[in-house]
Amino acid sequence: MSQVLSFEEALAVVLREAQSLTPTQRAEQVPLAQARGRVLAAPICTPRDLPPFDRSTRDGYALRAADMGARLRVVGQVRAGESWQGPSLAAGEAIELMTGAPLPAGADAVVMLEHVHAVDGTITLTAGREIAAGANVVPRGSEAHAGDTVLAAGEVVDAATVALAAGCGAATVTVFAQPTVAIIATGDELVELGNAQAPQPWEIYNSNSYSLAALAEAEGAIATRLPIARDTLADLKARLDEAALSDLLLMSGGVSAGKYDFVEDALAATGAEFFFVGARIQPGKPVVFGRRPRQHGGWQYFFGLPGNPVSTDVCFRLFVAPLLRALRGSRELTPCFVEATTGAAFAGKPELLRFLPARLEGGVNGVRVFPVEWQGSGDTAANARANCYCVVGPTGIGRGATARVLLR
């Protein structure tokens, strides 16, 4: 079986497999208003130039820039949604124009309303101001030409994407079908939420399957939480059978070296191939990644995630999310890291790369990251107070140093 890998090696393995995948082949058309978070399966082209006319970017006056040294006569007005119906602008003339309105024929610039003196239907330029041809005008087709691809397949639909697609008249878009994720939480100590009987002092609520479902759905997947798998090989095999049709399988707990940790054995019994069975990170060292054959051909990828909730969260963001992004058709796979200045020291741990709960705070003096006091990888309260993870090497990081931060 594969060895425990470094973080960089483990991520490289995940990305290698992710890049070999084709997204879910099923595609569907959805209304643009319902497409946020989905991935485009077909490009969007603009049927006309963007903008479709020379557009004013300011409230002001359309004119010939060369005329602006003299007093100009205002001969009309054009609002957004209108076009100038009069003759082409002549020398010595100006037309009042609103933001977003098309530039009248004959004009080559727009002077801002605040930069002129208007008296008795005439305007003059305020002292010290200048105006040049093209000022405050976005030329027709400067954003895109008719027929251009403005959004490629593989783009994730967000608010900016929606705005552009709507501007191209795309009432519906073609997106990849959402990948399906089966989630199995394991352990005799788990109690399902909604159970009429209160948990015993030695029992805990099944939080991991809920958090994993939330994480998977945030990555655009359809998550199914299967019943808790108890710590027997037979129960685990039954849950694995139930999960067989999903695109991705996530198992929480049972991946350590304990006497009742049967996840790897249960997976091996289905013909699983293991790419790695641990990564030198904290939290999350026991993470398992592999694939198993499907009954009708192909593979189902799986992750065995540690049972402690913070470990589960970290491993999902580092390893599961890139594979899910590939399954949903996205071109951006890797976890997102930024740099920040440490507001306090972070302790390291020999031979491990730590991903410690932290808070990223921005201000006029830059972005700083602060540790969140925690009681280890089972501390969900600390994790809820955090908004990122600070990446800490074996020797730790002092206050005022530059650190890598995993966004979440």
Compute and round to an integer the Cα radius of gyration of the chain: 30
Q: How far apart are CA 73 and CA 96, in angstroms?
A: 10
- Domain membership of residue 296 (yes or no) is yes
| 167 in Cβ contact with 52 (< 8 Å) | no
Count how many residues are written for the chain.
Answer: 408
Asked if 253 and 394 sit in the same domain, the reply is no
Same domain, 250 and 187: yes
Q: Do 61 and 71 have their domain in common? A: yes
Q: pLDDT tier at 24 (50, 70, 90 boundaries)? A: low
Domain assignment present for residue 288? The answer is: yes
The whole-angstrom separation of Cα 165 and Cα 93 is: 38
Residues 312 and 401 in one domain: no
Average pLDDT (211-221) is 96
Residues 209 and 315 in one domain: yes
Q: Are residues 322 and 393 in the same domain?
A: no
pLDDT in tens, 58-78: 999 999 999 988 999 999 999
Is pLDDT of 399 > 70?
A: yes
Q: What is the pLDDT of residue 231?
A: 80
> Quick one: what percent of the chain has pLDDT higher than 90?
82
How sure is the predictor about 207, in pLDDT bands with cuts at 50, 70 and 90?
Answer: confident
How many independent structural domains does the chain possess?
A: 4
Q: Which residue shows structure tokens 């788990």?
A: 190
> Per residue in 118-142, pLDDT tens?
999 999 999 999 999 999 999 999 9
Contacts of 181 (CB under 8 A, 6+ apart): 212, 213, 216, 221, 222, 223, 224, 246, 247, 248, 249, 250, 324
How far apart are the C-alpha atoms of 311 and 142, rounded to whole Å? 49
Q: Is the pLDDT of residue 259 over 50?
A: no
Looking at the structure, tell me whether residues 183 and 314 fall in a common domain. yes
pLDDT at 178: 95
Residue 160 belongs to domain with CATH number: 3.90.105.10
Asked if residue 310 belongs to a domain, the reply is yes
- Answer whether residue 152 shows pLDDT above 70: yes
**Would the pLDDT of 258 be above 80?**
no
Q: Pull the structure tokens for residue 128.
A: 């010290």
What's residue 261's pLDDT? 61
Separation between Cα atoms, residue 318 and residue 311, nearest integer Å: 11
Which pLDDT score is estimated for 39? 96
User: Once rounded to an integer, what is the mean pLDDT over residues 265-270?
Assistant: 89
Classify the C-alpha dihedral 386-391-393-394 as positive or negative: positive
Residue 61 and residue 171 in one domain: no
Where is pLDDT greater, at 122 or 198?
122
Give yes or no for residue 357 having a pLDDT over 70: yes
Quote the mean pLDDT of the chain: 93
Q: Residues 183, 321: one domain?
A: yes
Question: Of the candidates 295, 327, 359, which is a domain's last residue?
Answer: 327
Residues 294 and 205 reside in one and the same domain:
yes
pLDDT at 101: 97
pLDDT in tens, 271-295: 999 999 999 999 999 999 999 999 8
DSSP per-residue letters across 35-92: -TT-BBSS-EE-SS-BSSS-EE-SSEEEE-GGGTTS-EEEEEEE-TT----SPPPPTT
Q: Domain residues for 108?
A: 55-138
Mean pLDDT of 378-398: 97
Whether residues 165 and 34 fall in one domain: yes
Do 265 and 189 lie in one domain? The reply is yes
* CATH number for the domain harbouring residue 346: 2.40.340.10
Specify the higher pLDDT residue, 204 or 63: 63
- Let me know if residue 312 belongs to a domain: yes
Instruction: Please give the Cα distance from 57 to 121 (Å, whole number).
Output: 22
